Structure 1
Amino acid sequence: MVPLLTRIACRAFAVLILLAGVGFGVHIGVTSEEDVQDPRLAAEEDLRAADAEQQTTRDWHREYTQSAADNDAESKAESIAEVASDQAKALDDTYAELQAQEEENSNPPSGPVDLGPIPSDCNSYSGNKAAGCARLLEHGFGLDQMPCLESLWDKESGWNERAHNQGSGAYGIPQALPGNKMSTAGDDWETNPNTQINWGLGYISGRYGTPCDAWAYSQANGFY
């Protein structure tokens, strides 16, 4: 009897051990499966985080590149504008130098011109105006005509024997048009105030009669 019970007890104990082993195995299996899945989830999260960080880096790089390109373009535009301004100034300076040289070549320097005898009645004038007063009297005009002649040629040339109107081409104290008309009064018509004054007084006498008549015409019409 005892051996039979002993065998039954042993079998029951073996079954319990087997069931316990199965349960333990199931627990191990579940635990192992969870342990395998958790690293995958963590890896996926890490991957998503890495992708987000890379996207942020790409966005920053794109914005930086665009900003750098804009700054570079603006810098180049400023440099081009500065170079253009310098070149324009250089051209202006060159043009001014050439113009000054051309005027100097067209008006060669000359020595002092003898204005001739100046009567005492003309002592209130000096320079070319004194010569104008003297030539006025020589042409038979009265001294009362001198204020009109002075005003007329003040307006025309400032009594400058080298005055040249770039627009019309008129030249000299009387602003003869063209200037070489005055060659009838002398070969030195380009530089000699007396030659120009003599020609101008002859022109006034023949066209208007007196300097005051010429001055009145100039005031009314803007020229004479």
Structure 2
Amino acid sequence: MRPRGHLSGRRWKENRVSRISVRGFAVASATAVTTVGAVVGVAAGGEQQSSSDPIEATAADSTLLADIPAGQQAVAQTASLTQQADVQSTAADAEAKKSAEEAARKQAAQDAKAKKAAADKAAAEKLAKEREAKKKQELASRSASRDSSAFPIKASYTTAEVQAMARQMIPGDQFQCFSNIVDHESGWNYQATNPSSGSYGLVQALPASKMASAGADWKTNPATQIKWGLGYMNDRYGSPCEAWSFWQANNYY
């Protein structure tokens, strides 16, 4: 009969193996290992002589590792969790940085688009102003063209003479358009009369008396009719060419 309190060989081995298996977890913690070293030093009573039996030394060491307090095991677990948290935090920081860079890129693209739109608008407004100024300049130039009073008064005028007057009174880039209208309206006959409507002259003014605003001799002086016709086209359509465009679409102006 074995004395009480004495473990059988099998139970002693199971207990010993159980204690040794704990070693793997204990070694995972640097803090625990350091503590184990301290415990070993105390257990050895300060003796520096190592065991001559490797198996006994290992068994003793394993037993001591198995006896590490639960608090120190918690330290090892805490260290592992802290490391995981650090990794997750680093990944979150990288993702946040990436998101911020993407947002900045999108904002820069939007700013560039808005800047371009503003520049295009300013350029369009500038172009419109330049065109308006050019148009006014052209109108002023036309007004400064040779006046009807500069031509000598004659009893009658040939078609060539009437056309020569028109060339001197109308800007070069507008003459052909003016000529196209006169060709269709009167055939350059300054005395042409429409019997049904009463329109009269080179540009077939209706009523004919409107041409008196350009001169009292509107009935007999083609230069006076040209002056009135040019003024009418400029005021109503902007230029003889604009008047000709309207005429082509409507067969009148």
Q: Same fold (TM over 0.5)?
A: no
- Shorter chain as denominator, the TM-score bin is 0.3 to 0.5
User: Structure 1 length normalisation: TM-score?
Assistant: 0.42
TM-score (ref. length: structure 2): 0.37
